[in-house]
Amino acid sequence: MDYANKTGGSVQKKKSFAGNKAALIFFLLTVPTLLLYIVFFLLPLGMGAYYSMTDWDGFSLSYRFVGFKNYIDILQDNRFLHSVRFTFLYAVIVVVLKLFIALVLAIFLSGKLKLRGFFRSVYFFPAVLSMITVGLIFNQIFYSVFPAIGQALGIDWLSRNILGNKSTAIYGIALTNIWHGIATPMVIFIAGLASVPKDLKEASLIDGATPLQRFFSVTMPFLIPMLTVNLVMAIKGTLTVFDYIVAMTDGGPAFATESMGFLIYKHGMAEMKFGYGTAEAIYVFVMIAIISFIQIKILNRKEAGQL
């Protein structure tokens, strides 16, 4: 009896114990990731915040704690403010054009088309190339191909290397990024277009909707989630632009094409102002955090309304 009772009790106990134990195991399962997250993300973030308040050059044994001096200096630094303006202008140009062209191409490639598979591969091809390679190739195109076209057509600004001119260099870099970066959003849009139910399209056709009406009223709502993904990725990619600039202009002519990411690298690694560069990085971090927050808030609302 006793024995039976005991077992009964322990069964009872075991249940709550099992619950606790399961929670413990679930917790333990997260430990590796948690450790990695702390060691490789939170810790460096804290260290960065600390270094941003020093005048450390990145390698010396000694440095001074200077408080918020770096943060105040940055706000008066024309070079940094210019890089912020450049980055946002660049982001607007690239995001708008890239997504628009990707959408048009996606619609084109989802329609009835001979050799559709072939064309899809052709338009996807740039995504396979590495950024630096594309940058270097476009460098040559801007150096030798475009000026020849410009001269033939008698267009003054195009008959010189557009990367060598302060006011046109940004468009050269943007064009390269658009050509190279169009494939991924295009594929995502194609996937979105495929998810539009055929019966809805047919119904709207029978109801006599024009192609434009059909697009905005039937197709568009199904594309919103894809648009969200593409927007987030494109904005993130353009606000942190770095590789194209290194490959194509190295921040020049003069300081015309220095993006925030490029300037941080320049200050931190080339000019040995590590503390200052880190403070700039923290400004950028805060800026992108705010933008992402707003973006997610707005787009989530849209998505909810759709369903």
Partner 1 sequence: MKLLKKWGSVGILSTLMIVTACSSGNTPNNAPNGSASPANGEKVKIEYFQMKSEMVDVVNSLIKDFEAANPNITVEQNNVPNPENVWTMRVSTDDAPSVFTHYPHNPVFQQMTKEGRVVDLTGGPLLANVSQGIVDLSQINGKNYVVPVAVATLGVYYNIDMFNELNLDIPQTYDELIQTAEKIKAAGKTPFYFNDKDANPIRQEVVSRMGLQLTDIEAFLDSVMKGEAHITDNAELKPFAQKLYDLRQYGQQDALGTGYDDALREFANGKSAMWYTGIWAVPTIKESNPNLNFAMFPMPADKAEDTKVQVSVDTALGLPANGKNQASAEKFIEFMTSKESVQKYVDVGGYPSAITGVENNNKQITSLSDLINADKVYPTIERSWPSGVNGDVGKATQEMFATGDIDSYLKALDKIFFNKFNQ
Residues that bind partner 1 (CB under 8 A): 18, 21-22, 25, 28-29, 31-32, 35-36, 57-62, 139, 142-143, 147, 159-166, 249-255, 266-267, 269-273
Compare residues 148 and 294 and give the one whose CB is closer to partner 1. Answer: 148
In angstroms, what CA-CA distances link 151 with 37, 139, 148, 158, 258?
55, 18, 5, 7, 29
* Residue 139 near residue 247, CB atoms below 8 Å: yes
Q: Is 106 exposed, middle or buried (0-12, 13-18, 19+ CB in 10 A)?
A: buried
The least distance separating partner 1 from the CB of residue 42, rounded to whole angstroms, comes to 17
The least distance separating partner 1 from the CB of residue 167, rounded to whole angstroms, comes to 10
Q: Which residues contact 98 (CB under 8 A, 6 or more apart)?
A: 177, 178, 181, 182, 185, 234
Compare residues 143 and 293 and give the one whose CB is closer to partner 1. Answer: 143
The least distance separating partner 1 from the CB of residue 51, rounded to whole angstroms, comes to 13
The least distance separating partner 1 from the CB of residue 44, rounded to whole angstroms, comes to 15
Question: CA-to-CA distance for 205 and 198, rounded, in angstroms?
Answer: 11
Compare residues 182 and 279 and give the one whose CB is closer to partner 1. Answer: 279
* Residue 274 near residue 56, CB atoms below 8 Å: yes
Compare residues 184 and 257 and give the one whose CB is closer to partner 1. Answer: 257
The least distance separating partner 1 from the CB of residue 128, rounded to whole angstroms, comes to 23
Compare residues 154 and 208 and give the one whose CB is closer to partner 1. Answer: 154
